[in-house]
Amino acid sequence: MKRITLPGGAAVPALGQGAWHLGEDPVQRDEEIAAIRRGIDLGMTLIDTAEMYGDGKSELLVGEAIQGRRDQVFVVTKVYPHNASRRAMRTACDGSLQRLRIDVIDLYLLHWPGAVPLDETVEAFEALRQNGKIRHWGVSNLDPQLMRSLLAVPGGKAVQTDQVLYNLAHRGVEWDLLPLLRRHRIPAMAYSPLEQGRLLRTRALTVFAKKHGMTPAQVAIAWLLAQEDVIAIPKTGNRQRLEENAGALAHQLAPDHLRELDDLFPPPTGPTPLEMI
């Protein structure tokens, strides 16, 4: 497993697990828990969720899935923007800890920018860290301008990641956001690496995958793993698809593969607004 070192020193797997929509269908619960546990077996020990996902149902499911394996996993969850103030974040964090059934969150992210000033959010994160409720904090869906603002506030340089939409079909972050993050040695976390399955149905990716002996999902994930300082967090609640995703680790894309994919999915030629879903 390729590992990425966060600025705070934590080494995490470059391929983790997302948990958006998991826990929302009781019929699928047992399979979703089994999939998360299988992912842990395969080294995909970074698990990403959020208080928003299913109104806490995703955190509840993740909490059940990691019982007895807490020391093996790196738990990432996210706080609503309206809970990112000094007072509200403390309550939100306690709720996430209770649902996840853990004593400390490994990485706590601001889910997207909101009305609470960034300096107050940083103060709230730092208070939680000093109280031992979180180990690290970061952000999600912050564009270059907001990242520069964050880095300029007191304590802002303690940010560990910016989690953003990034996949073969959405490469706008390569123009300005990723270079900014790399200058500050801040890894990016790529959510929706399979474009919620839509990317896998594109003819270009299907043909490329067949030509090179991979599945479309494995190509999409292997491409992200080939990027510098990028953590990919594909979501699945199915053990078979989980193992398919993990199979991307066996496919290291060569430079000519990457050039071919650049032709099929061109990189940006100029700045674009940050995309998010």
Q: What is the mean pLDDT of the chain?
A: 97
Burial bucket for residue 235 (CB in 10 Å: 0-12, 13-18, 19+): buried
Query: What integer is the mean pLDDT of 34-41?
Result: 98
- 256: pLDDT strictly greater than 90: yes
Q: Which of 53, 108, 166, 191 is catalytic?
A: 53
Q: 60, 220, 213, 80: which is closest to 140 by C-alpha?
A: 80
Q: Is 53 a catalytic residue?
A: yes
| Residue 12 bridge partners (DSSP) | 4
Model confidence at 196, pLDDT cuts 50, 70, 90, reads confident
- Percent of the chain exceeding pLDDT 90 equals 99
Percent residues over pLDDT 70 in the chain: 100
| 39 membership: H or E segment, kind and range | helix 29-41
Question: How large is the average pLDDT for residues 80-102?
Answer: 98
- The pTM of the full predicted model, rounded to 2 decimals, is 0.97
Q: What is the pLDDT of residue 197?
A: 85
Band (147; pLDDT cuts 50, 70, 90): very high
Query: Per the annotation, does 111 bind a ligand?
Result: yes
Instruction: List % helix, strand, coil for the chain (3-state, nearest 5).
Output: 50, 15, 35
Q: Which domains does the chain have, with CATH numbers?
A: 12-197+231-240 (3.20.20.100)
Taking residues 98-116, what's their average pLDDT?
98
Task: Give residue 110's identity as a one-letter amino acid code.
Answer: L
Residue matched to tokens 């907001």 = 146
Q: What is the pLDDT of residue 98?
A: 98
Residue 250 has pLDDT above 90, yes or no: yes
Average pLDDT, integer, range 45-73: 98
CA distance 160 to 162: 7
For residue 75, give the DSSP letter.
E
